[in-house]
Structure 1
Amino acid sequence: MRKITLLFLFPVLVLAQEKATTVTTKQAGRYDTNKFSQMYDLLATPNMFRTASGAPGPAYYQQQADYKMDIELDDKNSKLMGSETITYTNNSPDVLEYLWVQLDQNQAAKDSETPLAESDRIEQTFPASNFTNKFLKQDLERGFNIEHVKDAKGAPLSYTINHTMMRINLATPMKPGSSMTFSIKWWYNINNYQLEGGRSGYELFEKEGNKLYVIAQFYPRMAVYNDVEGWQNMQFWGGGEFALPFGNFDVNITVPADHVMEATGELTNRADVFTSAQVKRYELAQKTFDKPVVIVTQEEAEAAEKGFSTKKKTWKFSAKNVRDFGIATSRKFIYDAMAVKLNDKVVMAASVYPKEANPLWGETSTMMVAHTLRSYSAHTFDYPYPKAVSVSAADQGMEYPMICWNFGRPDENGVTSEQIKNGMIGVVIHEVGHNFFPMIVNSDERQWTWMDEGLNSFMEFMAEDELGTNFPSRRGPAKNIVPYMSGDQKYLEPIMSNSEGIIQFGNNAYGKPATGLNILRETIMGRELFDYAFKTYANRWKFKHPTPEDFFRTMEDASGVDLDWFFRGWFYSTDFVDIGISNVKQYYVTETPTAALKNAKVRRGRFGVETGPFVYLVEGDNTELSSKDKKALKIEEVKLLSDYVNTLTTEEKGSLKSPKYFYEVEFNKPGGMIMPILVELTYEDGSVENFKYPAQIWRKANETAKKVYATEKAIKKIQIDPKLETADIDVTNNTWPKEATKSKFD
C-alpha cells in the first residue's frame, strides 16, 4: 500500500496550551432542556388499547349507538318535534352505571352558562339590529324540552339534566357486551341563526316569508365512552365541537309537501317525494361524470316557494356507520347532482341552493364537491359513503356526515366577486373534506380542535393546490402563519390546548396545524415519506377514535423519521422560527502561517496529533495576510498542494474538485423553534446553488451552527429560506450581505 502524506486544508481543531485550573465550586445540575429529547414526558403510555406504534391495540374497543327517529318540522312556527329510540351497545370491558347524552341545543337555553362565561364590554357603535338583539329583546324560548325518557318497555327512566349534558341513571348497570334500548321524546324552537347565532337553524327570506333550514344537533345524542377518559361529558360551551360514537340511523322527517330535502344517508323513498321527471333526472345524474345534472330546476323551485303548501311529506333516510345526522330542507331549493368515480365505486356529489345562490352555485358547488372527494380519497382512503351534499346557507360553514352548509352567494344583481367565489370554493372544499376528518377519522373535537380542523385545513390546502388555478389559499403556506406566530405571546397558546381556551381560534386550530403539516410534507420529510405515513394514519383510524398520540406516533412509525423535536416545538409550545446569518468569514489559502497558527498542533481524527508541514486557511481580514495571498486559490501556485497532487494517480486526480474560494458561515436561531436550515448561494455570475441542512444540526442544544463552503466561484449573496418554507418570522437577518429592509410603503 502506497503511503500518502496527509495535508490539512481546513483546521479541524486547533489545540491551545491548556492551563491548569483549580475548581473551587461546582455549578448546580439542570434538567434536560434539549429540544430533541423524546416525548415520553408528554405522551400517554402505550397499552393494549393504543400501541406505541400509533395503531389500535388488540384490546381496542368503541361503543355503538343506533338511532330510529321520527321528526316533524312545524314550518309556520319554526318548531322541531321528534321521538327517537336509541340502542346503545357497551363494547367496553367496563360496567356502566349510567349513560351520558348530549343536549347541545341547551347551549342557547335561558339558563345557559355560556353568556355568563364570556367577558363583556360596551361597544360604542352598534348597527340597529345588533343593539336590539343585545339590549332590547327578551330571552327567547330555546333549548330542548324533554317530554319523556323511557326504557324498552315504556317505563320511565330516571335522568338528570346538567345544562348541555343529560345523565340517564340505570337501575341495572350495563355489563360488557350488553345492549340497551331506550327512547326520548323532545321538541325545541328553531333559532334564526343570522340573528341569534348558532351552527344551525333557519335563514329567513323576508320578502317572500320563506325559510331555508339547516338543522343539526337537533336530537339528544350519545356521548363517547372510551379507554382514554371514560365518558366524554365535557359541557358544550359553543367553541369545542362534538365527540360522538358511530352507529346506524333510520330517520323519517315530515315537512311541508312543497319542500325539497337532503340529509345524511340514502333516501329510501325517492319516488314518493320527487316527481317522476325528477326521479328520471336523478337516474341520469347517476351516470353522468363530467358535470352536474339539474334534478329540481330553478323554475320548479320558484313555483314551489310561492305556494306554502299545507300538505305534508315524509322523507325517509337510512345511514350506516355514521357518527351524526344533519338535515337541510326548504321549498326554495334547486337540486343538482353528478356521479364521481373512485376506483371501483361510484358516489354522488350533490348541491341544494336557493335561486339567490345562482349562477355561482349551479356552476361551481357540485363540481367542487366532486373535486374534494377525488383529492381527499387519493391522500387517505376512497370515500366510503354513497354521497356528499353541499348546502347553500348564508353565513354558515358547518359539517355533518354526507352533508354540509356553505356560505358564498352573488350580490342582488347576480354578480360574484373573485373574493366571494374563492371564499365559497374554499369553504365547500373544507366542509365536504370534514367527511374524512372527523366524520370518519373520528377524533375528539371538543378537546382537540386541531385534530379535525387542522388536519382538514391541510387537506383543503392540497385540494386547492390541485385545482391548478393558483388558488389563493389562506391556510397552509408557511408565510401566511408568520403574523400569528410573531404576535404577542400573551395571546398565543400551544396547539395542544383545549378548544375553549384558545384566543385566536382560526390561527391556532386551523392555520398553524395546517402550516406545520405542510412544512413536514414539503421541507422536513418529503412528499413520499409524509404521504405514506399520513395515509397510514387515516386508514388505521378510519371509523375509530384516535388521539393526538396516535397521530404523532403513526407519523413516525410509518416514515422512519424522528419527529419528536417538531411535535414538541410546533404543537406543545409557542416557540417561533427565526434562523439568521450571524457571521460570514472568507478565508484564503497560504503556506505562510500567521503568528497564532505557527506553533499550533492539529488533531488528526481520533489518533494523535500531526505536526506540519501544513496548508493554512487564514481569515481574509487578518492583517498578517499579505495582499498577494488574498486571491482565489490556484493549486499549482501552492507548492505543498502541487507536490501532493502530483503523487496521485490519474484516476485520483480526476476526482478532485477545484475550489477557489472558501467561506465559513455561522447561523443562529433567535427563535426557539427548531427547523432545517435552507441556504441559497448566489454566485458572481448569477448562478444559484441550494443546500439543505436537517434540523438535527441543532441537536446538541447549540445556539449556533457553522458550515464551510469551498466554491469555484465567488459568492455574491447568501440567503436563508429563500422560498419562505419554514415560517421564519424575521427575514431581515436571512441574507448576507445584509439587505436594507423595505418599508411598507415600498
Structure 2
Amino acid sequence: MIMKRPLLAGLCLLAANLPGAMAQQTKSESVYDQHKAFAPNFYTSNGTETRSAIGYPGHKYWQNRADYNIAVTMDTVKSRIDGATTITYTNNSPDALPYLWLQLDQNLYRKDSRAEAATAVSGGRYASKEFTEGYEISSVTITNALGKTEKVEYVVTDTRMQIRLPQALKANGGKLQIKIQYGFQIVEQGTDRMGKLKTKNGIIYEIAQWFPRMAVYDDVLGWNNLPYLGAGEFYLDYGDYTYSITAPANMVVVGSGELTNPTTALTPKQLERFNRAKNSETTVAIVDSTDVLAAPTRSGNVTWNFTCKNTRDVAWAASKAFIWDGARINLPNGKKAMAQSAYPVETASLKAWGRSTEYVKGCIESYSNKWYPYTYPVAVNVAGIVGGMEYPGIVFCSARSAGGGLWGVTNHEFGHNWFPMIVGSNERKYAWMDEGFNTFVNNIATEEFNKGEYYRPQKVGAMAPMIFNPKSESLMHIPEVLQPMNLGLGAYYKPALGLALLREQIVGKDRFDYAFKKYIDEWAFKHPTPTDFFRAMENGTGEDLTWFWRGWFQENWKLDQAVKEVKYLSNDATKGALITIENLQELPMPVTIEVKESNGKTSTVKLPVEIWQRGGTWTFKYNSTSELSQVTIDPNGEFPDVNPANNKWTPAPAAN
C-alpha cells in the first residue's frame, strides 16, 4: 500500500523544520560503544529443522494450505455482496488442530469493532467513515475427509472467527472443507483498501477483503490472530482460487487471475479486442469511451468466472463506467502475461490513465527480469476511490493520479506482487518487510523505466533529518504501535534506505543482488521472518551484518562520523599524514574519505566498518606528498549523517 500525499508532505515538512534538532548533534561527546554495536549475541536461537541457519526454509519446513471456491452476487441497488465461500483447508503441520481461526475483515466496519474503539477522536486514514453490520453469516458447515457434512460451532470475536471442530483436524496432511454463507454491505470509503467512487457514467466498485479467509497457522507463533485494525495489513496462506462474480450485464468486471469464461462474459466486440490486446506490444482498447457512452446491448446479469493459482488472496472491481484496455507483458523464458487498466472517461488523457497500461507493462517486466518472474496471468490497474492498495494480480490506485504520480503509485502497488504476494511475509507484524522492500525495488524500476523518465536520484545525506527526527521510532514495531507520522519512515523509507545502503555502500551491488535474489527464490510462496531475511543476506553476501541489523532495524541508532584531526609524521607532510576520524553516535558504518592536497592531488580512501570495533576513534596513515588542504568524510553525501558540519577538516589559518 502506498502512503497518501499528505503524509509524505508532512514528512518532508518535518525534515525541513528540524535545524534545532540537528543542532543538538553538533556536540563532540561520543556516545558510541563498540561493545553494544558488535555484540555477538544478536541471534537468540539456532537454526531449526523448519528454518535453517542459512536463512532458508529448513528440510522439514511446512505450511498449511487454503484453497477457495467463491460465488457471490453483486446487488448494485442495495450495494451488497451475497454468496458463499468453500475453503478446502489442509493441515500440513505436525500438530492436530482442535479448532481453526479465520479472518473476518469486514467486521472492522462495525460500530463496536476494536478498530473503531482504537481510533483517535481526530480520525485518520483507517478510521471508518460509515458503519455496517460487517459479515452477516447465515451458515457455517464443515465436510470431513469421509464426506460427512455438519453444522459446526463457531465464535466470532471482532475480526476473528474460531471454528470449534467436533474432532481435531489430523496433522501431516489432514483435510476438511468449510462452507460459509454470508453477505455484507459495500462501504463507500473502505479505510483506503476498498470502496466506491461516483463518476459521471456510474459508480466504480473496488472490492477486497470480501470473503472469510483462513488465518495462518505457522511454526513461529501457531495461530496468527492479531486483530485487523486498519494499518496492519495481512498474513495469508497460499492456495488455488476459483471465484465467480454475478453482476449487472452492463458492467465490466476485472479481477485477480485469469478470466475463464471470456466467450460468455464478454460481448463479441469485447472478445475480439481482448484477444488482440493479449498479443499486442502496445495498448489496445477493449472498451473505449464510445462504448461507455453507448446504450447497453445486454440486460439482466452476467457471471464472470476467474481462477488464480498459488496465491494468497484475490480481489476485483466492477463498473459500467470503465474504459478497459490491455497489452502483452513479456516475461523471462518466453512466458507472457496481460497488462490491463480500468478507469473512467474523465481520467483517459495520455497525461493520466491513458498511459496506465504502459506503466503496468514497464514495471512488471522490470521486476520480472531483475528479481523473479511475475507469476499471475494478468496485472490489472484500477482507477477508483482507493489511494493505493495491492492485491495479487490487481491493484487499486487513485483516479486522481496522473503523470509521475500515476507511475509512482502503479509501480509501488505492483511491486507488492513480489513483496508480500510472492514472498509471503507477515504484514500484520512487520510492515517494513513488504513496504520497505517494495519501496527499495521501486526506486530501481523507476530508474529503468523509459530511460529514467520519472527518476530522481536519492539525496541520502539530505534524508538524515527526516530519518532521525527527534520523534522517530525503531522499525521493529507493528504498524499500530508506530505513531502515524512515523509509519512512512518506519515502514517505507528507512527500511528501503537501509537496503540501498547495503547494496551501494556496504556489500556492493553484485553480492547484494545475488543474496537478495536467492532470498526471494527460497521464500517464494512461503513465510519468512525478519531473522530468516537477516540470516539469508549474511550467508549470501559472506558478511557479518549483525551490527547493521541491530542499529538500523532493531534500534534507532544515529550516524555521526567526524574528522577529528590531521598530523604529519615528523611534522613533514611529504612523509605522510595521520588522519584521525571519530564515530560520535551509536551506529557504525564504513567510511569514505576524500583527501585533497595543496599540490592539487585528490585521493579517495575507503575504510571498512571493522575500524570501529576498537572504539570510537580511528587513526590511519595517508601517504601524502604535500600538505593537506581538505579532508572530507562522505564527500558525495551517500550516508545519512546527522551532522555533516563536522565531516570536513581544513587547516587552521596561519597566525599573523
Given the two structures, how large is their TM-score scaled by the length of structure 1? 0.78
Partner residue in 1 for 2:436? 454
Shift of 1:666: 1.4
Question: Residue type of the partner of 2:37?
Answer: K
Q: Tell me, what secondary structure is at the counterpart of 2:495?
A: helix
**Whole-Å Cα distance in 2 between the matches of residues 97 and 706 of structure 1?**
64
Partner residue in 1 for 2:586? 672
Are residues 583 and 424 of structure 1, via their aligned partners in 2, closer, same or farther at CA, if it must alter by over 3 Å?
same
Partner residue in 2 for 1:663? 577
Partner residue in 1 for 2:313? 324
**Bigger Rg over Cα:** 1
Assess if the C-alpha contact under 8 Å between 1:719 and 1:735 holds in 2.
yes
Shift of 1:383: 1.3
Are residues 480 and 78 of structure 1, via their aligned partners in 2, closer, same or farther at CA, if it must alter by over 3 Å?
farther
Assess if the C-alpha contact under 8 Å between 2:192 and 2:387 holds in 1.
no
Partner residue in 2 for 1:657? none
**1:688 to 2:608 alignment:** no
Provide Cα deviations, 1:269-290, integer angstroms capped at 9, x if missing partner. Answer: 111122222222222222222x
Shift of 1:337: 1.2
Structure 1 counterpart of 2:152, from 152, 157, 161: 157
Partner residue in 1 for 2:183? 187
Structure 1 counterpart of 2:209, from 193, 217, 224: 217
1:109-128 aligned within 5 A: 109-120=110-121
Are residues 43 and 382 of structure 1, via their aligned partners in 2, closer, same or farther at CA, if it must alter by over 3 Å?
farther
Farther-moved stretch of structure 1 (550-559 vs 729-738): 729-738
Farther-moved stretch of structure 1 (684-693 vs 371-380): 684-693
1:402-441 aligned within 5 A: 402-407=393-398, 409=400, 420-441=402-423
Q: Tell me, what secondary structure is at the counterpart of 1:62?
A: coil
**Whole-Å Cα distance in 1 between the matches of residues 164 and 651 of structure 2?**
70
**1:535 to 2:449 alignment:** no
Shift of 1:141: 2.4
Assess if the C-alpha contact under 8 Å between 2:192 and 2:386 holds in 1.
no
Shift of 1:32: 8.8
Q: Tell me, what secondary structure is at the counterpart of 2:426?
A: coil
Partner residue in 2 for 1:337? 326
**1:553 to 2:538 alignment:** no
Identical-residue share of aligned pairs (%) = 37
Give ranges in structure 2 of 5+ residues lacking alignment.
1-32
**Whole-Å Cα distance in 1 between the matches of residues 280 and 192 of structure 2?**
36
Structure 2 counterpart of 1:204, from 195, 198, 210: 198
Partner residue in 1 for 2:14? none
Are residues 220 and 473 of structure 1, via their aligned partners in 2, closer, same or farther at CA, if it must alter by over 3 Å?
farther
Partner residue in 1 for 2:379? 388
Are residues 308 and 347 of structure 1, via their aligned partners in 2, closer, same or farther at CA, if it must alter by over 3 Å?
closer
**Whole-Å Cα distance in 2 between the matches of residues 732 and 738 of structure 1?**
15
Q: Which has the higher contact order (CA 8 A, sep 6+)?
A: 2
Partner residue in 1 for 2:339? 349
**Whole-Å Cα distance in 2 between the matches of residues 78 and 464 of structure 1?**
39
Assess if the C-alpha contact under 8 Å between 1:252 and 1:315 holds in 2.
yes
**Whole-Å Cα distance in 2 between the matches of residues 46 and 584 of structure 1?**
47
1:66-105 aligned within 5 A: 66-105=67-106
Are residues 405 and 92 of structure 1, via their aligned partners in 2, closer, same or farther at CA, if it must alter by over 3 Å?
same
Partner residue in 2 for 1:623? none
Shift of 1:151: 1.9
Question: Residue type of the partner of 1:469?
Answer: G
Structure 1 counterpart of 2:502, from 520, 527, 540: 520
Structure 2 counterpart of 1:144, from 126, 135, 141: 135
Give ranges in structure 1 of 5+ residues lacking alignment.
1-30, 124-129, 411-419, 588-616, 620-629, 633-659, 740-746
Provide Cα deviations, 1:134-175, integer angstroms capped at 9, x if missing partner. Answer: 9xx9x6324111111112355321100000000001011001
Question: Residue type of the partner of 1:226?
Answer: D
**1:570 to 2:552 alignment:** yes
**Whole-Å Cα distance in 1 between the matches of residues 606 and 47 of structure 2?**
35
**Whole-Å Cα distance in 2 between the matches of residues 94 and 265 of structure 1?**
32
Shift of 1:479: 3.4
Provide Cα deviations, 1:676-709, integer angstroms capped at 9, x if missing partner. Answer: 1111123345553212111111012x01111221
Question: Residue type of the partner of 2:152?
Answer: L
Partner residue in 2 for 1:469? 452
Q: Tell me, what secondary structure is at the counterpart of 1:729?
A: coil
Are residues 735 and 480 of structure 1, via their aligned partners in 2, closer, same or farther at CA, if it must alter by over 3 Å?
closer
Are residues 122 and 303 of structure 1, via their aligned partners in 2, closer, same or farther at CA, if it must alter by over 3 Å?
closer
Question: Residue type of the partner of 1:618?
Answer: S
Partner residue in 2 for 1:267? 259
Partner residue in 1 for 2:240? 248
Farther-moved stretch of structure 1 (720-729 vs 112-121): 112-121
Given the two structures, how large is their TM-score scaled by the length of structure 2? 0.89
Partner residue in 1 for 2:38? 36
**Whole-Å Cα distance in 2 between the matches of residues 473 and 571 of structure 1?**
26
Assess if the C-alpha contact under 8 Å between 1:481 and 1:511 holds in 2.
no
RMSD: 2.3
**Whole-Å Cα distance in 1 between the matches of residues 112 and 405 of structure 2?**
36
The number of aligned residues is: 609
Assess if the C-alpha contact under 8 Å between 2:629 and 2:651 holds in 1.
no
Structure 2 counterpart of 1:502, from 460, 468, 482: 482
